[in-house]
């Protein structure tokens, strides 16, 4: 079987790239916030959140590779707590976003999402933990169905691939938001755009709560 520097097979790498693309570019709370922040305050202002996403995700992947993710899933009470905090935080962000309808400093103060808040959002997303556990089991601990001989190297490959896709996808969504900024500034377009992005966050929170 052909291997990538004897670390991961070509077939495994292609499967990882496909999964990363599907998970990263599909709409979700991160891409919705990246789009909304850039549309409201410009691409530069959204960069701290965009960078926070791969940083938070990489931390979760490393912790899952070390076994903490399995511990989280083994404790229903802890799992429920993470889910509850994540749902509450998404609803809070949706409320903030829905009330922002103008491009002015007051609106910027209302919708403040810091770098560390962006990192923290990844930690309270129970779906992110589940994905990290799946990656740890399928690509880190095993190699083509057998126990891997180099889990550390494979973990670094998975982290690098997922981090790049997370960065690129959120940057792309934010770029789209920044391009629309001038058009959204006319009339009440921004108001309804923010309401739509807030609805995406509410639906995501509902999906997390039911899972």
Secondary structure letter of residue 104 according to DSSP:
S
Per-residue pLDDT of the chain (211 residues; tens, 9 = 90+): 444 445 788 888 999 999 999 989 988 889 989 999 998 888 998 999 999 999 999 999 999 888 877 777 777 887 788 888 888 988 988 888 887 766 555 455 567 788 999 999 999 888 888 888 888 888 888 776 677 778 888 999 999 999 999 999 999 999 999 998 888 878 888 888 888 888 988 988 888 788 6
Cβ proximity of 139 and 158 under 8 Å: yes
Q: Which two tokens stand for residue 71?
A: 């511990």
Q: How far is CA 15 from the centre of its chain?
A: 20
Q: What are phi and psi of 141, to 5 degrees?
A: -80, -25
Neighbours of 128 (CB within 10 A): 25
Helix H or strand E encompassing 101: none
Q: What is the DSSP string of 7-72?
A: TEEHHHHHHHHHHHHHHHHS--HHHHHHHHHHHHH-HHHHHHHHHHHHHHHHHHHHHHHTTHHHHH
Q: What is the DSSP string of 144-187?
A: TTEE-S-HHHHHHHHHHHHHHHHHHHHHHHHHHHHHTHHHHTST
């Amino acid at each position: 079987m052909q291997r990538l520097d004897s670390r991961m097979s070509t077939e495994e790498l292609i499967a990882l790239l496909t999964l990363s693309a599907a998970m990263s570019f599909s709409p979700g709370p991160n891409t919705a916030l990246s789009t909304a922040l850039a549309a409201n305050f410009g691409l530069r202002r959204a960069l701290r959140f965009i960078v926070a996403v791969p940083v938070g995700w990489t931390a979760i992947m490393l912790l899952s590779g070390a076994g903490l993710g399995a511990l989280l899933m083994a404790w229903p009470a802890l799992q429920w707590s993470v889910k509850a905090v994540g749902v509450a935080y998404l609803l809070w962000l949706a409320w903030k976003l829905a009330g922002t309808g103008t491009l002015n400093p007051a609106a910027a103060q209302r919708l403040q999402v810091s770098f560390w808040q962006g990192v923290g959002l990844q930690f309270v997303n129970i779906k992110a933990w589940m994905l990290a556990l799946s990656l740890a089991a399928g690509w880190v601990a095993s190699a083509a169905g057998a126990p891997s001989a180099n889990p550390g190297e494979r973990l670094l490959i998975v982290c690098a691939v997922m981090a790049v896709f997370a960065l690129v996808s959120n940057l792309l969504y934010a770029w789209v938001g920044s391009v629309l900024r001038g058009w959204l500034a006319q009339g009440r377009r921004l108001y309804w755009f923010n309401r739509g992005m807030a609805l995406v966050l509410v639906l995501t929170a509902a999906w997390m709560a039911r899972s």
